[in-house]
Amino acid sequence: EAQVTQNPRYLITVTGKKLTVTCSQNMNHEYMSWYRQDPGLGLRQIYYSMNVEVTDKGDVPEGYKVSRKEKRNFPLILESPSPNQTSLYFCASSPSSGGIPLEQFFGPGTRLTVL
């Protein structure tokens, strides 16, 4: 089944404790991205990657890191989480065409709470 998987689905942690949220897609998509969803703010892009070893900042990159060592994986790293990073996180992948992400396929989401 074509899908984007994220782990963990739920995570409660404490301020300053490094964490990684994994994302994997099995559709051979070039483009991958991370978003956070907050009430009243919609979906805001954190980082995106056009291809392996190519990543770029989205609209809200502060406090996050990513890497794209393999085409299928795009982990999101919070080196020192803070309470304002409490949010619902989505990973997405997309076949890219002419530098535009076409239909984006979203994972099921990771609900993160930072105490």
Partner 1 sequence: QQQVKQSPQSLIVQKGGISIINCAYENTAFDYFPWYQQFPGKGPALLIAIRPDVSEKKEGRFTISFNKSAKQFSLHIMDSQPGDSATYFCAATYFGNEKLTFGTGTRLTIIP
- Residues of this chain that interact with partner 1 (CB under 8 A) are 4, 31, 33, 35, 40-45, 48, 50, 56, 58-59, 90, 92, 96, 98-101, 103-109
Which residue's CB is nearer to partner 1, number 75 or number 101? 101
Classified as helix, coil or strand, 93 is strand
| Residue type at position 69 | K
Which residue's CB is nearer to partner 1, number 38 or number 79? 38
Min separation Cβ 113 and partner 1, Å: 16
CB 67 within 8 A of CB 55: yes
Which residue's CB is nearer to partner 1, number 67 or number 96? 96
CB 85 within 8 A of CB 112: yes
Min separation Cβ 23 and partner 1, Å: 11
Min separation Cβ 14 and partner 1, Å: 25
CB 52 within 8 A of CB 33: no
Min separation Cβ 16 and partner 1, Å: 29
Peptide bond into 8 cis (omega under 30): yes
Which residue's CB is nearer to partner 1, number 33 or number 87? 33
| Dihedral (CA of 46, 10, 106, 5) sign | positive
